[in-house]
Amino acid sequence: MSPAPLSRRDRLRNRAVAVAVLVSVWCLLWGSFTWANVLGGLTVAAVVLAVFPLPPVTFAGRVSLPGVLRFVLRFLLDLVVSSVQVAALAFRVGHRPASAVIAVPLKVRSDLNITLTSVALCLVPGSIVIDVDRATGTLYVHVLGVRDRAEVERFRRGIWRLEERIITAVGSAAERRLVAAPDPVSPQSSADRKGTRV
């Protein structure tokens, strides 16, 4: 599903948001919001946006406070549980934890959803996104502690549930319909070995 072309108003809004973020980061790096830092940040933002134009990342959704609360609470729970699991693996003497690289095609292929899902995955111990296929919306995630295909499939379904919580929190109505659809068919692999994409 290709995104609709942006209107002039949307392009100006996205540019204004990008400038505001860049100026804020610039001032935070200097440690204070002075007029000199703000003007310096505006100059840097103008150069960055002129020399390194970024692809448009649009926000077409609507923030849902119950959805945001649900996402935050579940994310904190996952953070605690995963931290304990990784710590337990680290302290097991002589044990070499199994791992795998799992291909997960997301249901919503927008740049914003890919970014938010990737960041949320990387913040949880035990998983990290090592590659992204932007054209197909597929994440390649390195996961610790998976021993067989059943655990691989359980982790893949967990990523789809994570995506669903993100879209429920900040997605559009069309995106919410996409994540409510049945899960995609899992990518098949010719090998089920440790460290193999499955």
SS3 label, residue 132:
strand
CA dist 168 to 40, 79, 175, Å?
38, 20, 9
pLDDT tens track for 112-163 = 889 889 989 988 888 999 999 988 999 999 998 888 889 899 999 999 999 9
CB atoms within 10 A of CB 47: 11
Q: Across all residues in the chain, what is the average pLDDT? A: 83
Sign of CA dihedral 145, 149, 152, 158: negative
**What pLDDT was estimated at residue 190?**
33
CB atoms within 10 A of CB 40: 15
Share of the chain above pLDDT 90, in %: 39
Position with higher pLDDT, 192 vs 37: 37
- Across the beta sheet with 127-133, the strand order is 99-105, 138-144, 127-133
Give the DSSP H or E segment for 100.
strand 99-105
Give the DSSP H or E segment for 40.
helix 35-51
